[in-house]
Amino acid sequence: MAIMGLPEEEYFSYGHRACAGCGAATALRLITKAAGRNSILVESTGCIEVVSTPYPETAWKLPWIHGAFENAASIASGIEAALKYSGENTKVIAIGGDGATYDIGFGHLSGAFERGHDFTYICYDNEAYMNTGIQRSGSTPYGAYTTTSPSGKKSIGKEEWKKDLVHILAAHGSPYVANASIGYATDAFKKLKTAIETEGPTFVNLFATCPTGWRSATEKSIEIAKLAVDTGVCPLYEIIDGKHKLGRPKDIDKLKPLEEYLKLQGRYRHLFRPEKNKETIEFMENRVRKNLENLLKYEECGL
Ligand SMILES: Cc1ncc(C[n+]2csc(CCOP(=O)(O)OP(=O)(O)O)c2C)c(N)n1
């Protein structure tokens, strides 16, 4: 199905083997539309690499290279250096899941940003290591069940908060970093395009539903990705040359209740057992509000 208002050309072809309702596959459609023909893509090991290239087939209609799990940013650095030397203006884009980006490839990513390579790194953020069986990552949110952060009598699921990678990369001096969601595709497309067109190391975190890992209904992927934004869990914002610019949600007092987002996902099912979990949900809601208050404050103060 076409995505309204966006270029019709598809560079991530149908026929790939992603699960029904895979948010990362939608993310890849947006990323490749924003990249266009004059680009080279580098991909970490992960679900998208696996489902898009079962030998001898490929879903990629753009030049694409698969590295190891951790080193997409390093490969992109090398390609960018070679292109610069030969005077080409081809765009270089590295793509990884959150395991590759937040955790195991983080050193490579940080190094490439510190060296100032002219490339864009995009994380399709499905909040766990999905390809290997739903293990927790630095991006998995507080309270979520994964196979390595199980919920039980003594556990509420993951007990740590999600790593704030967007700000960590902004602190590297990046001219453009952004947080986006596949639920708001036009906004995500604009952010991806801005990141790709901005000179220097740029980053987009693209929130992407995973029905298999989140135990959610396949047809609810976009609804969940929208609710993440409207409850404040995944605020849409950019940091341009160090200054915050906020999109949705603007009004903290009009946030949708967090429960609406949580109850659509089996990874939070345990939070709805009466003996637990009103407190946990309230705690999460307060953290979400605090985070939004901070973002609004940064914007107001021109930071
Ligand atoms: C150094 C290294 N560690 C672990 C693995 C095994 N491995 C391959 S893919 C993967 C999970 C990828 O998770 P993520 O980056 O979040 O992407 P997703 O599968 O969710 O798309 C793991 C752990 C590996 N290939 N290399």
Which CATH number covers residue 35? 3.40.50.970
Q: Using CA positions, which residue lies closest to atom 7 of ligand 1?
A: 132
In a domain, 13, yes or no: no
Cα angle 196, 198, 202; round to 5: 70
In a domain, 103, yes or no: yes
Contact of 276 with 270, CB cutoff 8 Å: yes
Mean pLDDT by 10 residues, the chain (303 residues): 86 96 98 98 98 95 97 98 95 98 98 98 98 98 98 93 98 98 98 98 99 98 98 98 96 96 97 82 96 97 95
Report pLDDT for 276. 62
Q: Which two tokens stand for residue 159?
A: 């007990």
Measured over the CA atoms of residue 24, residue 298, residue 255 and residue 135, the dihedral's sign is positive
In a domain, 14, yes or no: no
Q: Using CA positions, which residue lies closest to atom 11 of ligand 1?
A: 129
In a domain, 7, yes or no: no
In the chain, the amino acid numbered 287 is R
**For ligand 1, mutation pick of 16, 50, 52, 69 (most atoms within 8 Å of CB):** 69
If phi over 0 gives left and psi between -120 and 50 gives alpha, with beta otherwise, what is residue 302? left
Q: How far apart are CA 278 and CA 15, in angstroms?
A: 43
In a domain, 16, yes or no: no
- Least Cα distance to 279 among 251, 264, 258 occurs for 258
Q: What is the DSSP string of 123-135?
A: EEE-SSBTTTT-B
Cα angle 154, 156, 159; round to 5: 105
- Report the nearest atom of ligand 1 relative to the CA of 126: 20
**Could you give the number of structural domains in the chain?**
1
- Determine the structural domain holding residue 84 and report its residue range: 23-300
The bridge status of strand 91-97 relative to strand 39-43 is parallel
- Report the nearest atom of ligand 1 relative to the CA of 124: 21
Distance 103 CA to ligand 1 centre (A): 10
In a domain, 34, yes or no: yes
**For ligand 1, mutation pick of 130, 131, 210 (most atoms within 8 Å of CB):** 131
Q: How far apart are CA 281 and CA 279, in angstroms?
A: 5
Report pLDDT for 97. 98
In a domain, 8, yes or no: no
Exposure string for 142-163, b = 16+ CB within 10 A, e = fewer: bbbbbeebebeeeebbbeeebb
Distance 95 CA to ligand 1 centre (A): 13
Q: How far apart are CA 10 and CA 240, in angstroms?
A: 29
- Report the nearest atom of ligand 1 relative to the CA of 44: 15
Query: What residues flank ligand 1, with Cβ below 6 Å?
Result: 24, 44-48, 69-70, 96-100, 104, 126, 129-132, 137
> Which three-class secondary structure state does DSSP give residue 214?
helix
Q: How far apart are CA 277 and CA 195, in angstroms?
A: 40
Report pLDDT for 278. 84
- Least Cα distance to 164 among 90, 98, 94, 83 occurs for 98
**For ligand 1, mutation pick of 129, 207, 210 (most atoms within 8 Å of CB):** 129
In a domain, 232, yes or no: yes
